[in-house]
Structure 1
Amino acid sequence: MAEVTAPPTDFDLEVETLIIGAGACGLVAALSAHEAGQEVLVIEADAVPAGSTALSAGLIPAAGTALQRAAGIEDSAEIFAADIQAKAHGENDQSLVDLMARNAGTVIDWLHTRHGLDFSLVDDFDYPGHSRRRMHGLPTRSGAELIDALRSACEREGIDIICERRAHRLYFSEGRVHGIAARRPDGGEERIGCARLILACNGFGGNRALVAAHMPGIAEGLWFGHDGNRGEAVLWAEEIGAQTDHLGAYQGHGNVAHPHGILITWATITEGGVQVNREGARFWNEAQGYSEAARAVLAQPGGEAFTIFDARIAGIARQFEDFKRAESQGAIKTAETPEALARALGLPPEALRRTLETIPRRDADRFGRQFGNTPLSPPLCGVRVTGALFHTQGGLRVDEHARVLRQTGGVIPNLFAGGGAACGVSGAGDSGYLSGNGLLSAVVLGRLAGLAFDPA
């Protein structure tokens, strides 16, 4: 249980900059703070750094990067910001959107050139809501690879990361943070004092009571995020008078192989695939996005659906390690005819055949989805999927330096937040999620928090 108390008379250890969480945000913050000359310590609850980042595809959207320019892609922070707000129906704080969009490109370039992260552009399919190809990822397109690369960069810089230390108490008095207490694996605790604290710890998707309170529409969904996301940052915020926002916002995912529990890339849809229910019928406009798909799929009989695509699309999807893993575990079924695929998936053969025959060419269907002129063709592929909650998007509100805002105005001068602990730019609910926004928030706010200093 997260708690807040006055500081003790002494600490077991004191450090200049303490970072809670060794996901993408925490590790980027550590690199930035170290670069700025700070003494840095990162603590991590897991046995090895991972977090929600390691469960994702590790793709970060950014505009105006060197990689985009090399590919001849014209993009800008202004275009990116407009895409974010369009997807979120204008529900975001414009200043936060502009902050994210303006800084994302320089952070990618910095990680690429200064720390050697081997980013490349995803250039063979489009993500919903992005008007430009701006998704940057490492070769295997996996979040685990991103975490490993950031951890290696920290190790090269001599930054200390101590694992199996879960922060459970915040020491706070007179409007400032003084440190934290963290539990060790043996049940004891360590009291760590700090001059500045960066919360890069978690959202609250693993705290089902908080999920039910703030986002009842997804409360019954599969929890596919990191179990360490228990909401300490949000609970501490309530105690210290910090601002929070958009606590009902989340990234869902309606394309999780079931029962295998493997994310299936949304390229299976954007390149012309569809979703059908147990009756073999389509039930919504899949072009809206994979986060919106979570509720649409969960509303179907049995809370499941079937994603149907073809071998051409599967070839594109294989750049993702998750998809290759799903194939190796037998989650992806392949057949030469709609009827044979239906039988492999347990669907009505004639119904699936009729559904695929009625997909229009270069026209909109009855749901409003616009299709191109490349039909699905044999061999056909399919996978049983369910809807899931991947991570929460709401959290602590921050200023342009990632400092946490007070409810009464102003900032808590030595408390910073990013990643799952901070409010992101995905609107107030699930319908505004733009692909990659979770990692966008993590890397940008991590960078800003690491570089900022206590002005008091």
Structure 2
Amino acid sequence: MQDIDVVVAGAGAAGMMTALAAAQAGARVALLERDLAAPTTLSVSGGLIAAAGTRWQAAVGEADSPEAFAADVRAKSGAAVDPVLLATVTQGAAAAVAFLADVAGLPLHLHTTSRWPGHSAMRLHATPAESGAELQALLRAAVAAQAGIALRDGVRVTGLLPGQRGVTTAAGPVPARAVVLATGGFGGAAPMLARFCPEAAAAVHVGGVHCDGAGISWAAALGAGLLCMDSYQGQPHVSPHRWNGVRPRFGASLPSLGAVLVNRQGRRFVAEDMGPSELTAHLLAQPGGVAVEVWGAAAQQAALAGGPFRRAVELGAVACCADLPALAARFGLPAAALAETLAGHGALPDPFGRQRWGGTLAPPFFAAEVTGALAHTQGGVRVDAQARVLREDGTPIPHLFAAGGVACGISGHGAAGYVPGNGLAQSFALGLRAGQAAAG
């Protein structure tokens, strides 16, 4: 790997976007990944990208704007999000999805099957199968087709060269003019979770297996400012069991389609239509940290639009029960309590404060056992509008950029500020800026 202009550490969503943007700007790029075969935060996701004011929205008459997107973020996370970062992501996400379509050649569409908590407009964009695995495969194909990118597998980055003029690896140094850190967050780093996100430390981690916080640590050692380190995306629709070695994810659209959650006593315990991230803690607080999610046939059909849900069905993680006695028996729930609970479906006002039911609930019933999980962390290093890593005093660290899980997200503090699709919005918006700026 000689004569490299930009070295990108990590080939996830942010890393691939960075590499594509830098190569399009004329840079020679080394994209380094320790294990392309391992599950990534992108590959196990639903592949939904939040972006406002796009041509896909205009095509279906969906009125939206970056300003409305930013207002929705502030409504969820308050004033905790850095205003520069918020503006960069909400204004840059539309350009990012246009780049993915027009430059990377990805077939994108607007998700219109269901409305998601926290979004005042339909602004989630996806590839045809609405699957993170598909999105990753398409991005890898786009990277492979770009002559200016040298993708190297099996390369573990171990640190930064002096002056950030490249990276060190187990195989030796890789010099470059600029470095972009896209190695992911710290969801797989138990010590960092215990320090920064103690309430999520016991949750099952379902993100990328190599999210060890290394990139954040390298930047912090150079004096980088860290923001919202207690922030994370909770995922409440995850199987507590592995099926053929896979832990299925059912997707966050089920409550908007009428699904309910019941605990081991057959009772509801929460307003299921709250944001999925903050719902995670309520689920983990139940006996055994598990619940049974129940939905109807119409919801089943609609949810099949999502790639992770289809995979869960293929694995056999979703049960179909002909009636209430069969449902109670299948999951070992008290039949009388379950019948009483489901009889209240759709009633308003709801004792738990649910505002939207979304659909009816009638036999046959579909159901799955679920637990709360940690999808990925949202805290990280402070960056500017060009994705340059900033010190505590706001000055940029020379030649160092960050995007994705290494950089701070737009979710504020804790779990409650995360809104579906905002993680990939940040990864792609910052990745586009980082690639362009590093190349320049």
Normalized against structure 1, the TM-score is what?
A: 0.92
Asked if 1:166 corresponds to 2:137, the answer is no
Q: Does the 8 A contact of 1:128 with 1:289 survive in 2?
A: yes
Which residue identity is paired with 1:410?
Answer: T
Please, which runs of 5 or more residues in structure 1 have no aligned partner?
1-11, 184-188
1:268 is displaced (CA, Å) by 1.3
Which residue identity is paired with 1:59?
Answer: L
1:32 maps to which residue? 21
Helix, strand or coil at the partner of 1:344: helix
Asked if 1:293 corresponds to 2:279, the answer is yes
Change (3 A) 1:91 1:100: same
Let me know the Cα RMSD of the aligned residues: 1.5
> In structure 2, which of residues 113, 125, 140 is the aligned counterpart of residue 136 of structure 1?
125
> In structure 1, which of residues 374, 387, 393 is the aligned counterpart of residue 378 of structure 2?
393
Please, which runs of 5 or more residues in structure 2 have no aligned partner?
none
> In structure 2, which of residues 410, 416, 421 is the aligned counterpart of residue 436 of structure 1?
421
Helix, strand or coil at the partner of 1:383: strand
Asked if 1:18 corresponds to 2:7, the answer is yes
Alpha-carbon separation, structure 1, partners of 2:40 and 2:150: 17
1:447 maps to which residue? 432
1:3 maps to which residue? none
1:338 maps to which residue? 324
1:323 is displaced (CA, Å) by 1.6
Alpha-carbon separation, structure 2, partners of 1:191 and 1:124: 48
1:50 is displaced (CA, Å) by 5.6
2:298 maps to which residue? 312
Alpha-carbon separation, structure 2, partners of 1:157 and 1:316: 37
Q: Does the 8 A contact of 1:61 with 1:136 survive in 2?
A: yes
2:395 maps to which residue? 410
Asked if 1:122 corresponds to 2:96, the answer is no
1:13 is displaced (CA, Å) by 4.7
2:411 maps to which residue? 426
Helix, strand or coil at the partner of 2:427: helix
Helix, strand or coil at the partner of 2:283: helix
> In structure 1, which of residues 162, 180, 191 is the aligned counterpart of residue 167 of structure 2?
180
2:261 maps to which residue? 275
Q: Does the 8 A contact of 1:22 with 1:51 survive in 2?
A: no
1:366 is displaced (CA, Å) by 1.0
% of aligned pairs identical? 38
Comparing 112-121 with 205-214, greater Cα deviation is found at 112-121
Alpha-carbon separation, structure 1, partners of 2:110 and 2:313: 24
Deviations for 1:130-165, whole angstroms, at most 9, x for unmatched residues?
010010011111111111111111111122100111
Q: Does the 8 A contact of 2:6 with 2:438 survive in 1?
A: no
Which residue identity is paired with 1:276?
Answer: V
Asked if 1:43 corresponds to 2:32, the answer is yes
Alpha-carbon separation, structure 2, partners of 1:454 and 1:318: 41
Alpha-carbon separation, structure 2, partners of 1:131 and 1:427: 19
> In structure 1, which of residues 192, 211, 215 is the aligned counterpart of residue 197 of structure 2?
215
Helix, strand or coil at the partner of 1:429: coil
Asked if 1:110 corresponds to 2:104, the answer is no
Change (3 A) 1:373 1:313: closer
> In structure 2, which of residues 206, 209, 212 is the aligned counterpart of residue 230 of structure 1?
212
Comparing 81-90 with 426-435, greater Cα deviation is found at 81-90
Change (3 A) 1:55 1:29: same
Q: Does the 8 A contact of 2:6 with 2:27 survive in 1?
A: yes
Which residue identity is paired with 2:367?
Answer: G
Which residue identity is paired with 1:20?
Answer: A
2:178 maps to which residue? 196
Q: Does the 8 A contact of 2:386 with 2:434 survive in 1?
A: yes
1:88 maps to which residue? 77
Q: Does the 8 A contact of 1:306 with 1:382 survive in 2?
A: yes
1:349 is displaced (CA, Å) by 1.2
Q: Does the 8 A contact of 2:256 with 2:356 survive in 1?
A: no
2:307 maps to which residue? 321
1:5 maps to which residue? none
Q: Does the 8 A contact of 2:255 with 2:358 survive in 1?
A: no
Normalized against structure 2, the TM-score is what?
A: 0.96
Matches within 5 A, 1:241-252: 241-252=223-234
1:14 is displaced (CA, Å) by 4.8
